[in-house]
C-alpha cells in the first residue's frame, strides 16, 4: 500500500459477507481506486504480518509472513519489489488461529494464536 492512495474499501472489494455470501461493495474496481497487490478468494482472514529480515531462514529474507485465522496457518509471500512471486501456506492447522506474526531480534519467527488458552510459538528451521 502506498500512502495517500484510495484502495476502495468498502466501495470496491473482492470479498463476500459472512453467512449470506453476498458481495461487499459495488464490484472490484472503479476509476480512481487502486487494486490490491495480492488477493485471497476466499479470504484467509489475514491478521498480523511481518517482513522477514532475520538470519535463521535465509531463503525467507525480504518475504512477507502473514498470519491467517482461517485454516489456522501462516502464509509466506515471496516478493520481488511490489510483485508477489510465490505463496506458500505453512503449519496449516498445527497450532490454532494465528493472530500475530513477529520476527524476533534472534531471527526466529514468533506466532501468537487467539484461543482462550492460546500459545506463543517459535518457528525454527529444520536441521
Instruction: Give the pLDDT confidence of 37-77 residue by residue, as tens digits.
Output: 899 988 899 999 999 999 999 999 999 999 999 999 999 99
Confirm if 67 and 48 have CB atoms less than 8 A apart.
yes
Task: Report if residue 110 sits inside a domain.
Answer: yes
pLDDT digits (tens, 9 = 90+) for 112-126: 999 889 999 999 998
| Cβ neighbours around 102 below 10 Å, total | 15
- Both 55 and 28 in one domain: the answer is no
pLDDT of residue 47: 95
Residue carrying the nine cell digits 506466532 = 111
pTM above 0.95, yes or no: no
Residues of 55-67 as b/e, b for ≥16 C-beta within 10 angstroms? ebbeebeebbbbb
Domain count, the chain: 2
**What's the domain range around 3?**
1-35
Q: Are residues 81 and 31 in the same domain?
A: no
**For the chain, percent of residues with pLDDT exceeding 70:** 99
Please, what is the Cα angle at 75 between 116 and 21, to 5 degrees? 75
Amino acid at each position: 500500500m502506498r500512502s495517500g492512495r484510495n484502495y476502495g474499501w468498502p466501495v470496491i472489494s473482492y470479498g463476500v459477507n459472512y453467512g449470506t455470501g453476498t458481495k461487499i461493495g459495488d464490484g472490484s474496481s472503479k476509476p480512481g481506486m487502486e487494486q490490491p497487490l495480492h488477493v485471497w478468494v476466499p479470504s484467509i482472514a489475514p491478521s498480523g504480518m511481518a517482513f522477514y529480515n532475520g538470519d535463521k531462514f535465509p531463503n525467507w529474507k525480504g518475504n512477507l509472513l502473514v498470519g491467517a485465522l482461517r485454516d489456522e496457518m501462516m502464509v509466506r509471500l515471496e516478493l520481488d519489489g511490489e510483485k508477489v512471486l510465490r505463496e506458500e501456506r505453512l503449519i496449516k492447522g498445527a497450532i490454532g488461529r494465528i493472530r500475530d506474526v513477529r520476527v524476533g531480534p534472534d531471527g526466529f519467527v514468533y506466532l501468537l494464536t487467539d484461543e482462550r488458552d492460546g500459545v506463543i510459538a517459535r518457528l525454527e528451521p529444520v536441521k
